[in-house]
Amino acid sequence: MKHILSQVFHSGKFVVGFCIFMSILLLMIFYPIFNPGNPLQIVSIGTFAEPGIYVSVYDAVDSDMNTLKLDEAPAKRLDSVLKSEDRVKMVMWFDAAGIPVDNLSIHDTEALLTLWEENYDATIRPEGMTKADRNYFQRLDGNLKKVIVTHDKVLARQDPSSSELSVIRTIEDTDYVNIKKVANVKRLPLGTDNFGRDVLKELAAAIKTSIFIGLVAGSIATLIGLTFGLLSGFIGGLVDDFIMFITNIFTVIPAFVLLILISYSIGQDQRGPTTVAVVIGLTVWTWTARAVRSQVISLRNRDHVNLSKLSGHNLFLIIFTDILPYIASYVIMALILQISGAILAEAQLSLLGLGPKTTEVPTLGLMMNWSMLYTAHLNGYWWAYFPVILTIALISFSLNLMNTGLDQVFNPTLRD
């Protein structure tokens, strides 16, 4: 046993697969510990907040401030509102308004801004410019005004009865607060989704549910397949014919079609993750049954089985001690493939809107379904769907890699 384990962990493929899978498991286990709470809780009003660190402005203005004299601060401030595409657009405006821009480089910020200040007029309606374009330039102008001229900003409090404003303090452009001193800072490494929920937290919970579905469905499929395969392979005769008949029926009807029909007939409200897992498990066992059966048939005429019979062992003892240990490695590999298959099956079902009900727990498939319904992929909200796809791919990839690694250890003929 020890020997086999050390061999398994010497297989490069297995180790890589194992490490990937373990990292996913670590994320699944530890992220909720650092960031507890309901994964379906809505944290942001409005959809698809970008990934990043969110600092509470309300708390920041009350924090102790330090004065930092940083030379690059004004330039950065300007850059944040004047991106390179804005510069190109500005030149386009000059063109449309008929202002000569002979030797103006778009990187020459000063010249660009002077020309803009001198010439921009919101009332001018250059030809060929839509209302949206004009709004864009107005917005740009407003932003520029905010940063070019450094007005001091004032922090004031409103008296509830008289609505009078009393100035608390002035905020200068050299005022900084230490992020550690701000009471409320929210890290959203993967932003929020269409409902305004923390995507990473949701992802960690979804991995958990999906792996649960994979384990349950994979175990059910392997258990049914194993039982049928063992019985039909070992007993043979009528039992074999009957079991193979059932197996063939299930093979002829594609498992996925069956899955869709059953899921649809159960109804959204009844479909918890467990139900979905059971349904998946009940439809995909056939190939395990076939594979186990053929293994058993090649084993049942072996001399050690004959000797066991001659020693008076009964059917179940022979199956458990003389057949099962010999195919154990094979069954484990089948189980791994079934788990990975079940996780993919859940994702497919959910994408079609036939997955578990949406109110309890997220699953990888449901997260894909939501981001698709809210067209995250069309609007470039990559954080809502790309990490999910990547996770599904990695889970499936790592499981298959582990399987190949095991295969190489257990079937030495495949070793290179």
Residues lying near another protein in the complex (CB under 8 A) are found at 302-304, 306-314, 321-322, 325-326
Considering the complex, what minimum distance in angstroms separates the CB of residue 325 from another protein?
Answer: 5
Closer CB to another protein, 28 or 323, in the complex: 323
φ and ψ at residue 136, rounded to 5 degrees: -60, -45
| Dist CA 77 CA 95 (whole Å) | 26
The residue written with tokens 């480089």 in the block is 105
Considering the complex, what minimum distance in angstroms separates the CB of residue 254 from another protein?
Answer: 31
The residue written with tokens 């063109």 in the block is 95
Between vectors from CA 105 to CA 103 and to CA 108, what angle results, nearest 5°?
120
| Dist CA 369 CA 347 (whole Å) | 9
Closer CB to another protein, 208 or 293, in the complex: 293
Residues 6+ apart with CB under 8 A from 307: none
Closer CB to another protein, 186 or 309, in the complex: 309
Considering the complex, what minimum distance in angstroms separates the CB of residue 305 from another protein?
Answer: 8
- The length of the chain in residues reads 416
Residue 177 is given by DSSP the state: E
Considering the complex, what minimum distance in angstroms separates the CB of residue 3 from another protein?
Answer: 12
Considering the complex, what minimum distance in angstroms separates the CB of residue 401 from another protein?
Answer: 28
Cβ(192)–Cβ(367) below 8 Å: no
Closer CB to another protein, 34 or 316, in the complex: 316
Closer CB to another protein, 87 or 313, in the complex: 313
Considering the complex, what minimum distance in angstroms separates the CB of residue 335 from another protein?
Answer: 20
| Dist CA 135 CA 129 (whole Å) | 10
Closer CB to another protein, 317 or 393, in the complex: 317
Q: Measured on CA atoms in the order 164, 169, 175, 176, is the torsion positive or negative? A: negative
